[in-house]
Every structure is written in C-alpha cells, then in structure tokens.
Amino acid sequence: MKTNEALLNKNESRKNSIINHEEIGDNHILTSMDTPMKSTAFLISDEEKKKRIAFHFTEIMDTLGLDLNDDSLQGTPDRVAKMFIEEIFSGLDPKNKPKIALFDNKYQYDQMLVEKNISFYSNCEHHFVPIIGKAHVAYISSGKVIGLSKLNRVVQYYAKRPQVQERLTNQIAKDLQEALDTEDVAVIIDAKHLCVSSRGIKDDTSATVTAFYGGVFKQHKKIVELQNFINS
C-alpha cells in the first residue's frame, strides 16, 4: 500500500512539475537578471563542447527517425554544434564580450545620441526558437563617448545567448551604464518571438516591446524626445 501511495505521489509531483514548466514557458517568466550559468561552464574547451553537442544532436535526429546516412544530413550535427558555439550562443562566453574604448567628448555634445534600428537575432530560452527584432539605444555623454559600432556589438553580444527579452533589455542597458559611467542610458527593444508565432498560440502578427529608462530618460519629456528620434 505504501509503495503504491509513494508512486502516486511521485507521479503527481512529476505532473505538477510538467505543468509548472509549461506555465513558465508560455507566460514568459524571467528568472534572473543574469543569464543562468553553471560555475563549471568554461572548464571544457570549445572543441570539446562541439563534440558533445554533435553527439547529442545526432541522438536527437536519430530519435526523430532521420536517416543520418543521407548526404544532406550527415554533416548536420557538426554544423549545428559549430553554429551553437561560434555563432548563435557565442554571447555566453565572456571572452567574446566586445572591448569598449571610450573617447573624450571633444565636440561637447550634451544631447542624447540615439543608435536606432539595430537588428539582432536571439533565441528564446524556453523553447530555443528565434527572437528577431530591433534595438534602439540612447545615451547622454558624461564626458566620454563610445564608437557607434560598439553599441551594435554590445546588443549582439547579449542577444547571442538563450534569452528572455526583459533580461536582454536590462543587460544591454546596465552594461552601457557601467561602460559610459552614466545613468543616462535608454534601451528599447521591439521583437517577434517565434515561440509565439510558430507554436502555441501561433500569432504571427504580434510583437513584444520592452524598455529601460535610466537617469534623465526617466523624465517624461526625455521619453517623448527619444520616441520622436526613433520614429523620425
């Protein structure tokens, strides 16, 4: 009797866990400001990671019933492994963080600078399907300025990891605040999530917008000014 009761409790617990995971995935819950990483994440080399990913992706393809002897599929596990490490999840590795050089604001430009429509591709951490969007980044110099391309690179760095859009927005903003030594940073992200458009509700027309306003950008007049810049 006790064995049956324990089994029922275990099955109920597993059922509740599955339901909870589904709710988290569908409700877009943010678990932390930092990307959840194991402390041992960088104890193995990129080449070893590629080998492990290729092995496991081979198992996934085999489980799906795909013929890995087919000429078109033979190299897929290796291609996926290389893509994961060198491209779409390269932002997980701190060694790929862009080096930011600052320059004196010799023009004495004291108004907002806006880099808008920065295209990026990320991946939803709940289903590992693409997030496709544009980021708008603004800051007001505290005496130093950053090369324009570095704004794009910071966006790409944080986008190239399993993400939640709210976290992506905050990570970009916080990094720029620290690098530029100013609170006066704003980030707006407008993106489409394929976990919404290609599965689940399958809504192909909706988009998600998130924003971070720091320092003077918390003022209504600055938000309006920023919106005018973006929409011009």
Q: Which residues are catalytic?
A: 124-127, 165, 193, 195
Tokens of 87: 């491209």
Report how far residue 67's alpha carbon sits from residue 59's, in angstroms, rounded to the nearest whole number: 11
Report how far residue 134's alpha carbon sits from residue 162's, in angstroms, rounded to the nearest whole number: 17
Contact 136/118 with Cβ under 8 angstroms? yes
At residue 218, φ and ψ (nearest 5 deg) are -75, -15
- Let me know how many helices (H) and strands (E) the chain has, helices first: 7, 7
Alpha helices in 34-147 (DSSP H): 46-63, 76-83
Residue spans of beta strands (DSSP E) within 13-171: 102-104, 113-124, 130-139, 144-146, 162-163
Contact 50/18 with Cβ under 8 angstroms? no
